Amino acid sequence: MAEIPHRRGAPMPGAEVLAEPLRSRWSPSVFDPAHVVGREQVVALIRAAQWAPSCGNAQPWHLVVAERGDATHDLLVARLSRGNAGWVPRASLVLVVGAQVAPDDRGEGGTKPAHAEYDAGQAAAHVTLQARAMGLHAHQFAGFDRTGLAADLGAPPWVRLLAGIAVGVPGDLDDVPERDREREHRVRRRRPAEQWVHAGSWGTPWPGLEP
């Protein structure tokens, strides 16, 4: 079944047990370029990041709001990798995620980079799931000139840009080139849990996974 080419709503074996909004989360690559995310929805996405957990409550995350058509969005689009330049600009909104990886110029903030990036990932996951709960979809990407965009924005050296979260609603598959449409047909694959869930000693799968 996982081998059957699909459009949307691809099989997610094992995900039947998940609660919403995790259950129906997926990353579209064909967004509706006419859809606009309301400001109150953007605020809710920001609140989702704000109330994410973090190591020592450091809250090391930053977001840059790029709404399709505004000046921030123009800066982002100019920095997209070739592979992302087709699909990302169609999304209603991009939230660029950064992490404070060192203390600022007053010596404040900045946990170890590993924690900052882990916690920025948590905040991004909260944004993504809040989007889904509001009827939106989100697709994260890292393929852009992150140091170039940081310079464009004037981001300080203690912040590292990590990813973008493209947010919107799915668009018409017939409205994009084959190259972009192809992404929506990909079979969704995940590593078997036996390869990455350990117990007792590394490489010994947790026995509860046995059928």
Smaller CB separation from its own copies, 34 or 199: 199
By CB under 8 A, name the one of 153, 170, 173, 183 that touches its own copies. 153
What is the closest distance, in whole angstroms, from the C-beta atom of residue 153 to its own copies in the complex? 5
Smaller CB separation from its own copies, 55 or 102: 55
Half-sphere exposure of residue 93: CA atoms within 13 angstroms, side-chain side: 24
d(Cα 75, Cα 71) in Å, to the nearest integer?
A: 6
Q: Applying CB under 8 A, which part among 3-11, 12-20, 28-36, 167-175 lies near its own copies?
A: 12-20
d(Cα 194, Cα 143) in Å, to the nearest integer?
A: 30
Q: Applying CB under 8 A, which part among 1-9, 84-92, 117-125, 173-181 lies near its own copies?
A: 117-125
By CB under 8 A, name the one of 134, 169, 170, 173 that touches its own copies. 134
How is residue 57 written in tokens? 């409550």
163 binds its own copies (CB under 8 A): yes
Q: Which of residues 85-114 bind its own copies (CB under 8 A)?
A: 99, 113-114
68 binds its own copies (CB under 8 A): no
Residues 113, 121: contact at Cβ < 8 Å? no
CA geometry: angle 160, 164, 169, nearest 5 deg? 165
How is residue 114 written in tokens? 């590993």
d(Cα 74, Cα 85) in Å, to the nearest integer?
A: 12
- In the chain, what is the straight-line distance between the N-terminal and C-terminal CA atoms, in Å? 19
Q: Applying CB under 8 A, which part among 28-36, 84-92, 171-179, 187-195 lies near its own copies?
A: 187-195
Smaller CB separation from its own copies, 175 or 185: 185
* The total number of residues written for the chain in this structure: 211
Q: What is the DSSP letter of 107?
A: S
What is the closest distance, in whole angstroms, from the C-beta atom of residue 203 to its own copies in the complex? 7
